[in-house]
Amino acid sequence: MAPGGAEVAGGAGQAVRGPGAAPQAARRRAGGDPVKALLHRHRELCERAVDPLEIAAGLEAHGITDRTAARFRHRDVFSLAEELYARSPRGEHTGVQPERVPAGASAFRGFGYALLPGAVGLGAAAAGVVWAGAAAVVVTVAALVWPGRTAGGRVPWGLYLLAAAVVGWAVHRHGTALGVGLALAVAPAHLVAEAFGAKARARLAGSRALEEFADRARPLFLAAAALFTAAAAGAAALAGAPPGAAVPLALLLFLTRLLLRHGARGGPVAAALALALVPFPAAVLVAAAGLLVQALLVLPRASAHARP
């Protein structure tokens, strides 16, 4: 026997390897097919994906970039996702699918819900009830709740309470008209957010690299933010609210909605809302500007537009 029992000559002239040789051979085999190890690591994502774009977005969310994809012998994440999709079995998840609501009916219902805050706020103010400002605060913040979610899928109740505090404080300082203006801005916020999401997904489908999609998504997001800002100014004018107070706050709430709807983490949103509570005149404007920068970093990512 050789020293240390590393190998023993076999009858056919072959060497029988010691216990340390098997892991080395396994590593060599894995190195020959690096995509197989990645497929095993992200098995659930790949098996549940309905198309390669969903896998690409999920890989990006896990930190895999086009440069990383080169280590898996692919030119970009999209090409890598196509191979993972093609090699993923889907027989395990072909059970009875939940009944889907038609897209047109869902969009119509969502827009109907978005009209409610403005109707409630405007109606309460026109009726001259003492709780009109409070009603406008409640319905405006409630409009953030139904599309909101965090990256972990949890309902961010703490963020909604912060938003309620910000809106309530602003209405207390500037009057009921500000609350009505914010409530009226909910409907255009819904329309702009839905249009942005649909166009971003369409551009994701037409992109072949993460950087290419980001270059397409940034101007799209800036156009959506500008369009909503103009709509918020119109809502403030209709309600008779001071635009200098109403528009930055409406933009802050719109960005909060977009970031939560697209799965962003709640930390930056919470920081911006907390900053808006600081008692100095430009606090809300600074908070909205900071959240605009955060959205500009997050929303051009493919992972922000994966299906919920």
Tens-of-pLDDT digits for all 308 residues of the chain?
A: 444 444 334 444 444 444 444 444 444 444 557 777 777 787 777 777 777 777 777 787 777 877 777 777 777 777 777 777 777 775 544 444 444 444 454 555 666 677 777 777 777 777 777 778 788 888 888 877 665 545 455 667 888 889 999 999 999 999 889 999 999 999 999 999 989 988 998 887 777 777 788 888 999 999 999 999 999 999 999 999 999 999 999 999 999 989 988 878 888 999 999 999 998 889 999 999 999 999 999 998 877 776 55
User: By three-state DSSP, how is residue 12 classified?
Assistant: coil
307 and 205 in contact (C-beta within 8 Å)? no
Query: How much is the pTM?
Result: 0.72
CB 107 within 8 A of CB 194: yes
Tell me 16's DSSP state. E
In the chain, the amino acid numbered 123 is G
The Cα 253–Cα 256 span in angstroms is 5
User: Residues near 270 by Cβ (< 8 Å), separated by ≥ 6?
Assistant: 158, 159, 162
> What pLDDT shows up at residue 32?
59
Helix (H, G, I), strand (E, B) or coil at 131: coil
Predicted local distance difference test score (pLDDT) of residue 146? 63
pLDDT at 29: 44
Q: Which residues of 157-194 are buried (b: 16+ CB within 10 A; e: fewer)?
A: eebbebbbbbbbbbbeebbbbbbbbbbbbbbbbbbbbb
- Residue 233 has which token pair? 């100014």
C-alpha span between 189 and 257 (Å, rounded): 9
What pLDDT is attached to residue 3?
Answer: 44
Residue 4 confidence (pLDDT): 46
Residues contacting residue 61 through CB under 8 Å, at least 6 positions apart: 301, 303, 306
11 vs 2, 82, 229, CA distance in Å? Answer: 15, 47, 82
